[in-house]
Amino acid sequence: MSEFSLIQRYFTRATPGAVLGVGDDAALVRVGNGMELAVSTDMLVSGTHFFPDADPYMLGHKALAVNISDMAAMGANPRWATLALSLPSEDEAWLERFSAGFFALADKYKVELIGGDTTRGPLNLSVTILGEVPQGEALRRDGAQVGDEIWVSGSLGDAALALAHMQGKLVLRDAAFVATVSALHCPVPRVALGLVLRDIAHSAIDVSDGLLADLGHILERSHVAAEIQFAKLPVSAHLSPYLAQALGQYCALAGGDDYELCFTAPVARHAELVKLSTQLELPLACIGSIVAGSGSTVRAQNGSVMKIGEIGYEHFK
């Protein structure tokens, strides 16, 4: 099968939301009046971001999900994507499963695949996503203010807990592994939350490299500090028994791959956010506050400062 036959068979679909989609030297899109274009790229590399024998359907899902999560963090509506694949071989069964997973999520969020590239090489998956956000309304990292509350959606640490099991660092019961590995392989982008937060939050980011690492980007860009209450971190019943251990604390604070939204908002919006949690059927937890200074302080339930080792994943460390 030629490169172009591969693209035509597995990755070419109608793109009614684009002026021109797959099949030319470039795609053409038209952004709505009064809208700005939000653009983000993420790469998943075999052996770094996923195991080489990972289920291709789940890989297709995750390759797009991590990019849609970036749109959610910006308060943008995801619209279009491009996909670049480096493939070690022409494996039609793998391609069938991968494209099925990719397009299942694309259909859910009405994202159109409008271009990309394929080449032979080590297995790498790179997606660029484009979304729309009203002019001047994008959520950014540089808007946190002293006095803001810090919030997190969903739960933290399950993906890292599943990975720890897969790496032999601990042993989970079958039911716990099934539940947590779903968080690792099939993250749920919080698009609906991001869209509503445009009118509420001062700053936002998605948690991909770990809560402390990603919150740290907000703190750095906003020139502020954070006080985190460890007891208020939202964790599942699967992770909770490990929180007294260093590994459990790492999963919750620094493990990453959660793809939840971390955001800051004025105290005056607290009750509104509690109500929003019910409306979206999505847990929202207030975990601390923004203070003057720099960096993050994590406090135990008795108020003492916790000693934290790693704060998140870094590729070149």
Residue 310's Cβ-count burial label (10 Å; 0-12, 13-18, 19+) is middle
Q: How confident is the model at residue 226 (pLDDT cuts 50, 70, 90)?
A: very high
Nearest 10 degrees: CA dihedral of 17, 18, 22, 23? 130
Number of Cβ within 10 Å of residue 176's Cβ equals 19
Least confident of 21-30, 179-188, 240-249, 285-294: 21-30
DSSP state for residue 230 in the 8-state scheme: G
| SS3 category, 120 | strand
CATH architecture of 3-134: 2-Layer Sandwich (3.30)
Percent of the chain with pLDDT over 70: 96
**Core vs surface per residue 54-93: b (16+ CB within 10 A) or e:** bbbbbbbbbbbbbbbbbbbbbbbbbbbbbbbbbbeeeeee
The candidate with the shortest Cα–Cα distance to 297, out of 219, 207, 202, 234, is: 219
Provide the residue ranges of all domains of the chain, joining segments of one domain with +: 3-134, 149-299
Q: What's the confidence (pLDDT) of residue 168?
A: 94
As a whole number, the mean pLDDT across the chain is 93
Residue-level pLDDT at 316: 40
Query: Using an 8 Å Cβ cutoff, are 299 and 228 in contact?
Result: yes
Which pLDDT belongs to residue 50? 87
Residues 143/283, Cβ–Cβ less than 8 Å: no
pLDDT at 8: 75
Residue 136 has pLDDT above 80, yes or no: yes
Question: pLDDT by residue (tens digit) across 83-108?
Answer: 999 999 888 999 999 999 999 999 99
Domains 3-134 and 149-299 share a fold: no
- Superfamily of domain 149-299 in CATH is PurM-like C-terminal domain (3.90.650.10)
The model carries a pTM of 0.91
